[in-house]
Amino acid sequence: MASILVIEDDDIMLKAVRNILGKDGYTILTAKDGKEAFDKLENETYDVVVTDLMMPYANGLEVVSRLRSDETKRHIGIIVISSVGNEETITEAFRLGADDYLKKPIMAGELLIRIRKLLSNKNSSSQLVTRKK
């Protein structure tokens, strides 16, 4: 099953997302801020990162930017979850390389569908690359 890193500084939101994804059988690891997230990303491999935007030490846009600029981590799917819903911030998240953006409060079913779709698209893309070789 897919491994997902959830980066969220709000304890209640972190537990909620972990429970939603855990019930669907995913392996869930968590980080409470950007610094802890970077440490975990350095030492583990993930299929998807779900990140909040507003966090201490490094915000979600920095997480997206760093993942997309690292050749070994570009393949990781990224979903941003935030209460910030202005067009400029959403556009910036996508410009930096986020795969999806959900505005808080999130709906469990929507998060699960978007995770499944992202994983399915990533698997389809990797199969195409494998076939071309």
Q: Sketch out the chain's domains with CATH numbers.
A: 3-132 (3.40.50.2300)
Residue keyed to tokens 């846009």: 61
pLDDT at 128: 43
Question: Across residues 37-41, what is the average pLDDT?
Answer: 96
Instruction: List residues bridging with 28 in a β-sheet.
Output: 4
Q: Does residue 72 have a pLDDT over 50?
A: yes
Query: Is residue 68's pLDDT more than 90?
Result: yes
Q: What are the tens digits of pLDDT across the range 90-118?
A: 999 999 999 999 999 999 999 999 999 99
- Whether residue 132 has pLDDT greater than 60: no
Task: Work out whether the CA dihedral 39, 42, 66, 91 comes out positive or negative.
Answer: negative
Give the pLDDT of residue 39: 96
Tell me the average pLDDT across 12-34. 95
pLDDT tens by residue, 80-89? 999 988 899 9
pTM of the model as a whole: 0.90
| 8 A C-beta contact, residue 96 and residue 74 | no
pLDDT for residue 121 = 85
Is residue 1 pLDDT above 90, yes or no?
A: no
Report the run of H or E that residue 84 belongs to, with start and end: none
User: Are the beta carbons of 59 and 84 closer than 8 angstroms?
Assistant: no
50 by DSSP, 3-state: which? strand
Is pLDDT above 90 for 122?
no
